Each structure stands twice: as structure tokens, then as C-alpha cells.
Amino acid sequence: MKKNIIFITTDHQRADTINMVQDGKEVTPNLNKLSKEGIHFERAYTTCPLSVPARTALATGIFPARTDVVINDLKNIPDKTKEVKSIHEILEEEGYDVAHFGMQHITLKPSLEERVKFDRIITDDNYEEICRENSLPIFGVEADRILVEELHGDIVEKRNYTGSRVSFFKEDINLFRDRFYLNNCIDYLKEKNVDEKPLALFVNIWAPHPPFTLPENCYNRFKNIKLPPNINIPTENEPKRRREGIAAQLAGENDLSHWENVWRAYLGLTNYADELIGEIFKTLKEKKIYDNSIIIFTADHGDHLGQHKMFQKMEMYDQAINIPLIIKIPGEKSQRISMNVSHLDVVPTILECINKEIPNNLDGESLLKYLNGNEIENRPVYTQYSGNQVAIGDIRRCITEGKYKYIYDPRDSEEFFDLENDKLEMVNLGNNPDFEYEKLRLKNKLKSWCEKTKDWIHIK
């Protein structure tokens, strides 16, 4: 019998929330247990600090530039996506019953729903129906919005984005988005017979995504917050136009008490997501399928939460692109892996776990060969950002290798960071002659990667 696949993601969850302790309590107790049972990749990176490109790359193993899925556009789907398969399709072909619960931000033509005959699927479309029936806003209210100036091609236009306001969800908890998803997921698991066919279960939890509208008891879980030291402090030698970016505009002029409030809400939602994940694990154990399941946990990207005087994602600092990644594989011992890995490596790793040949068109590689002390110290990983919605806008290209990170912006100055000695990335060494050799070395690797993935950005 093939191993079951349990693939769980959250939205906006940072890597440092795993094993984090605030107010004397673990933020993610259930994921911490999974980390002790499985393989915890501590330096995992998203391919894009934006949901749709990140989730599409995570599902296909293809870098965003190769599919043209580079912004959050769920309507204008690139033709190039016809050429790629998702892990959902592959697992269905391998005889799995495939089920999905949660938001569905994987952008393909034809759509995922048209490609896969799901055994059960519950998405935002289903939750929208619940919201309409109960007069609930699905994506927040006007008070949650902040008007920003966003670059679209060569012009700047004004658009509303979700800000850092905190409010309470006062309706029946069963109407709360993630509770709705998980109720359906648990019901499905309880009635599911996995003795006939293996199960591939995909659960996409919305929390801790803003707007931070949450049950009050979640907000009260972490009252005494210790903030990072670089809240409201931009990087030294920050590129001149960086304050024009969406993340910088969304941060606004908020004091430390505001960010303490934001962190209480964010950590409360993260803890709530962890609680729901614990319910999944409990049900899997009751069904006696936990031990025979490959369990993958990750997130699409992180959130600055006021650090660098920024909010949300859309930049290349580790708060936005360093994401949690834990994989539990039956028969593999627990390990902590400190080398750089990518979202692109998840699909090939799953395929090797189920003894499926890995297609040669994938941009990542299976991580199994790096287990048991076979890590590579300077393994490069790549991240791109090309704007948020509507059209190509602000552009960043990034390589992280070992202790160094290089960021290229065709409209602004370079950034280079020594992550070993500057973990919070507060000193840009892009113009420091002592690091010129390493900067050029990473820049050339990034240039080669862009050429390999047929990126339209030509690094000079």
C-alpha cells in the first residue's frame, strides 16, 4: 500500500514562528512536535513573496518566470501553464484519492478543478456562499484597507490593500473561515476509507493572513509580546526607491504599541492555525493512518509585521521569504537541516518518496539525498517578485546562498547582506568594497539562473 500524502499550508506564516516562545507559551506546539518527528528544513525559501506565484510554483516545481505566473492574477492565466502538471494531477495518476480544503490559489490553464477529479474539494467559492447567506464580508471591510500608490508598468496608480488593523470576529465560530474549512476536512477524514486507495489530502489554512479579524480568545493568547529590535527601522543604505514599495507604504507611521497589537493578533492566528493542524493530526491518528503518511507543512511566504518599517510581504527580506518547511517521512529519522532549500524542491521530494520518476523539467530537486549529514553548505536558492496585481510593477530578483544574499532591482541600487553577522538584514553591503567579490559572484549566478528560466529581466 502506498503512503498517504498530507500536504498542509498556512498563509503569511514566517519560518521563525516554529519553536517560537512568546508570553511563556509555544506559538506552534503541534508543529513543534512534527518538527521533532520529521525533517525540519530551517532555511527554506519561497519562490515569490506573493501567494499565487508561490503556490503555483510549490504545486508544480516550476519557477514562476517559466510559467509567467508572477503576479496575483487569478483571471488572466498564462498559456505557458498548459505545459506543466501539478502534484495533484501526478498523485491522481498514481492512484491516489485527491481531496482539497481551503483557498485555491494555484493558477493553471485548464484550472486545477478541471484537471483533477477531486474526491472532495471545498474552496473559497464554498465559503463565499456561507458569507452571503450570513451577510459576512469574505475579505474584510473598508476599514481594513489602506490606499497605496502602486507601479503598473511605467505608470503609478492608486489601489487599496489590506493594512494592519486588528478587529474581532464576533459571529458563530463555525462561520470563521478556517473553522469552516477544517470542519469539512475533519468530517471527510472521519468517513474516509483509506484501505482501498491511498489518500492525497491538501489543506490550505488562511491564517495568519491579514486582515487580522480574529476571535477575541485568540487575540488574548499572547499578551506580553517581545518585539524584534528592528521594528520601524529601515535598513541602513536602503535603496532610494524602496519606500515607494507597497510593503513600506502599508507600514505607515505606526508606533510600537500598534505593532505589539499586530503581533498579538498575528501570533494568536498562527496559534489557532496550529490548533487546527493538531485536530487533523489527532483525526489521522484515530484513523490509524498518521504513521503511514508523508506529512508536508509549509507556507506560501511570510510577513514583515513592522520590521524594516514594512508590512505584509512583497520584498526580499527573510521575514517575507524564509518560510517554514517540515516533512515527516515514515522510516526517516528526525533531523534539522540548515542548508538552503526551496519550494521548488517539494514536488521532486514527494515523487522520490513514492518511487515516482522525477520529470527532468522541474526546477528543484529531491531533498532526500541531503539527509543524514549530506548537506551542502552553499546551496543557492532563488526568489523573484514582479509586482502584485493588475500588471508588472516593482521588480526584485534574489539569490540566497550560504550566509550571503544578493538582491537585484533594475530601477534601483543593489542589496547585499551577510546573513551570518546581520541576521535582521539591517546593513546593506551593496556598495561595500570588502564584499565586492562575493557580491559579483552571486550576481553572476543570479544572472545565469534568470537566463536558464527564460526570465525577461536581463541582469547587467
The residue whose grid cell reads 494555484 is 106
Residue 348: is the preceding peptide bond cis (ω within 30°)?
A: no
406, part of any domain: no
Task: Note the pLDDT tens digit of each residue in 279-324.
Answer: 999 999 999 999 999 999 999 999 999 999 999 999 999 999 999 9
What's the pLDDT score for residue 437? 97
What's the pLDDT score for residue 74? 77
Residue 168: band (very low, low, confident or very high) from pLDDT cuts 50, 70, 90: very high
Contacting residues for 196 by C-beta, under 8 A, at least 6 apart: none
Cell reading at 113 = 478543478
Between 100-109, 132-141, 323-332, 422-431, the lowest mean confidence (pLDDT) is in 132-141
What's the pLDDT score for residue 201? 98
Is the per-residue pLDDT at 377 higher than 90? no
The closest of 431, 7, 11, 411 to 209, measured between CA atoms, is 11
If you average pLDDT over every residue of the chain, what do you get? 95
Residue 154: band (very low, low, confident or very high) from pLDDT cuts 50, 70, 90: confident
Arithmetic mean of pLDDT, 411-433? 97
What's the pLDDT score for residue 27? 98
What's the pLDDT score for residue 123? 95
429, part of any domain: no
What's the pLDDT score for residue 447? 97
Residue 196: band (very low, low, confident or very high) from pLDDT cuts 50, 70, 90: confident
The closest of 382, 380, 417, 410 to 396, measured between CA atoms, is 410
A 10 A CB-CB count for 395 gives: 18
Residue 138: band (very low, low, confident or very high) from pLDDT cuts 50, 70, 90: confident
Cell reading at 64 = 514562476
3-state secondary structure of 202: strand
Arithmetic mean of pLDDT, 242-262? 96
Helices (H), 208-287: 216-219, 246-251, 256-286
The residue whose grid cell reads 507600514 is 251
Task: Note the pLDDT tens digit of each residue in 347-357.
Answer: 999 999 999 99
Cα–chain center distance at 134: 30
What's the pLDDT score for residue 49? 98
Between 4-13, 150-159, 261-270, 419-428, the lowest mean confidence (pLDDT) is in 150-159
The closest of 344, 287, 354 to 62, measured between CA atoms, is 344
342, part of any domain: yes
Between 104-108, 134-138, 229-233, 342-346, the lowest mean confidence (pLDDT) is in 134-138
Is the per-residue pLDDT at 244 higher than 90? yes
125, part of any domain: yes
Which domain does 58 fall in, by range?
Answer: 4-377
Distances (CA, A) of 361 to 52, 155, 306: 21, 36, 38
The CATH number of whichever domain residue 305 belongs to comes to: 3.40.720.10
Is the per-residue pLDDT at 269 higher than 90? yes
Cell reading at 414 = 543593489
Residue 180: band (very low, low, confident or very high) from pLDDT cuts 50, 70, 90: very high
Residue 119 DSSP code: S
Q: Render 205-237 in DSSP notation, one character per residue.
A: --TTPSSEEE-HHHHTT--S----TTBT-PPBT
Decide: 27 and 20 in contact? Cβ < 8 Å: yes
Round to whole Å and give the CA distance between 97 and 91: 8
240, part of any domain: yes
Residue 223: band (very low, low, confident or very high) from pLDDT cuts 50, 70, 90: very high
A 10 A CB-CB count for 306 gives: 26
In the chain, the percentage of residues whose pLDDT exceeds 70 is 100
Q: Render 12-54 in DSSP notation, one character per residue.
A: S--GGGTT-EETTEES-HHHHHHHHHSEEEEEEE-S-SSHHHH
Dihedrals phi, psi of 421, to nearest 5 degrees: -100, -5
Task: Note the pLDDT tens digit of each residue in 331-352.
Answer: 999 999 999 999 999 999 999 9
Q: Compare 157 and 140 and report the one with higher pLDDT.
A: 157
The closest of 204, 226, 222, 224 to 214, measured between CA atoms, is 222
Round to whole Å and give the CA distance between 87 and 397: 26
Is the per-residue pLDDT at 1 higher than 80? no
Is the per-residue pLDDT at 194 higher than 90? no
409, part of any domain: no
302, part of any domain: yes
3-state secondary structure of 213: strand
The closest of 110, 279, 255, 112 to 181, measured between CA atoms, is 279
Arithmetic mean of pLDDT, 443-459? 94
What's the pLDDT score for residue 410? 94
Structural domain count, the chain: 1
Is the per-residue pLDDT at 359 higher than 80? yes
Is the per-residue pLDDT at 55 higher than 80? yes
Is the per-residue pLDDT at 384 higher than 90? yes
Q: Are strands 166-168 and 212-214 parallel, antiparallel or unpaired?
A: parallel
What's the pLDDT score for residue 217? 95
Residue 208: is the preceding peptide bond cis (ω within 30°)?
A: yes
- For 436, half-sphere exposure in the C-beta direction (CA atoms, 13 angstrom radius) is 4
β-bridge partners, 43: 340
Task: Note the pLDDT tens digit of each residue in 62-99.
Answer: 999 999 999 988 788 889 999 999 999 999 999 999 99
Round to whole Å and give the CA distance between 340 and 403: 10
Decide: 317 and 12 in contact? Cβ < 8 Å: no
What's the pLDDT score for residue 375? 87
452, part of any domain: no
